[in-house]
């Protein structure tokens, strides 16, 4: 199983050379549907909502709502892995080690560990700190 970190989901959604490399990596693994985590969805939604919290003009707001809708529609094409009880247990174990990375990244790592998944991410520096987590950057 392969899970995409938030940055890889962004590339996949908006296209370009990095998206082509990610798609190729998923095809090599025999996957028809990309998978990510509910945490990545949260990060993306929070990003768009923060832009709405202080809109500059009404037309800017229209643009951001359209992008928020596109984000929702794109996520509906993905397999989403939840932050389950098993992932929460993995998360607690990692916090007690302690692994020094951001809370959201630690939750993504916990989901990947609980799913026995390879995590595709550009953030190798942080995710490599997580014991037992398999990581790779598919954009290079």
Q: At residue 55, does pLDDT exceed 80?
A: no
Question: Is residue 56 over pLDDT 90?
Answer: no
List CB contacts of 20: < 8 A, sequence separation 6 or more: none
Domain interval for residue 20: 2-136
What's the mean pLDDT when you consider all of the chain? Answer: 95
54: confidence class by pLDDT, cuts 50, 70, 90: confident
Q: CB-based contacts of 38: which residues, under 8 Å, 6+ apart?
A: 80, 81, 82, 83, 111
Domain count, the chain: 1
């Amino acid at each position: 199983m392969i899970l995409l970190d938030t940055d890889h989901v962004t590339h996949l959604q908006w296209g370009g050379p990095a998206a082509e490399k990610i798609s190729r990596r998923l095809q090599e693994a025999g996957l028809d549907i990309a998978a990510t985590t509910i945490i990545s969805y949260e990060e993306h939604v929070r990003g768009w909502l923060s832009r709405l919290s202080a809109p500059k003009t009404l037309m800017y707001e229209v643009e951001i709502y359209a992008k928020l809708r596109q984000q929702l529609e794109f996520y509906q094409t993905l397999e989403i892995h939840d932050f389950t009880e098993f992932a929460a247990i993995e998360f607690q174990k990692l916090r007690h080690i302690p692994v020094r990375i951001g809370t959201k990244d630690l939750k993504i790592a916990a989901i990947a560990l609980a799913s026995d998944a390879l995590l595709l991410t550009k953030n190798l520096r942080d995710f490599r700190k997580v014991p037992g987590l398999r990581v790779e950057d598919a954009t290079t």
